[in-house]
Amino acid sequence: MHGGLLAGDDRGLAYGDGLFETLRVDAAGRVPLWPRHRARLLAGARRLAIAIDAPALERCLADTLAGAPGAGVAKLIVTRGGGGRGYLPPAAPRPTLIGRFAPLPVYSDAERRRGIETGLCRLTLPDDPLAGLKHLNRLPQVLARAEVASQGWREGIVLNARRQPVEATAMNLFALYGDTLWTPALERAGVAGVARQWLLEQAARHGLRTSVRLRPLSQLRVADGVFLANSVVGVLPVRKLAQWVWPVPETVIGLQGDLDALFQA
């Protein structure tokens, strides 16, 4: 087991053969959603047949947080390790674990209350046999995020090949339709976020039913509210997408507050 050094033949570097998690750390150095992140990382490792266990992840997280200045973002990367040339995994690989710490991204109070402006990315997400996993193959998101920056948007909505909205470049997508909280199904593309699952579980506390399925892009126009979410930023309302404009319902502010409260040490 390596502890942060990336060899030149590492399969994560060569083939994206690995997984990662980004974890929000509160001011007291706690990671409230860590059990969910750890479970997703271990499930992904089992699916990719990368031999990693929970104690190794715990040690990597502890090392990453040692001396950290408080609130921020910890990123854990797991790769299959070194493997020589060719796609075939080695018979007995030694996985690599890498941890990094960075400041929290900054969104203003106005953006968090009144919403952000987004755009529709030209790039579409192809069907992915590893959909749902947070694997290291992120080139579509890299290109989509570059488009977001070039257009001056705060985020971008990404569609699949059937022109159905899947997610934002780095956040899951939600919309309110009356008393129903909707988010796209991710069996074919996208990342099943930890915050996404937490919000779906919390919906009933706000009197909401849930709907997890793909819908046409046109149906977003008639939503009562739209928001994005991930475990680092929390809930971020969307005010505008192209010519469509939405209010920010109190329900969205309530969900935002619920998720934020997890990180108030």
Catalytic residue among 134, 155, 169, 183: 134
219 touches 182 (CB < 8 A): no
Please indicate whether residue 187 is annotated as part of the active site: no
Please indicate whether residue 22 is annotated as part of the active site: yes
Catalytic residue among 64, 79, 167, 183: 167
Catalytic residue among 22, 79, 96, 251: 22
Please indicate whether residue 180 is annotated as part of the active site: no
CA distance 198 to 109: 23
Active site amino acids: 22, 134, 167
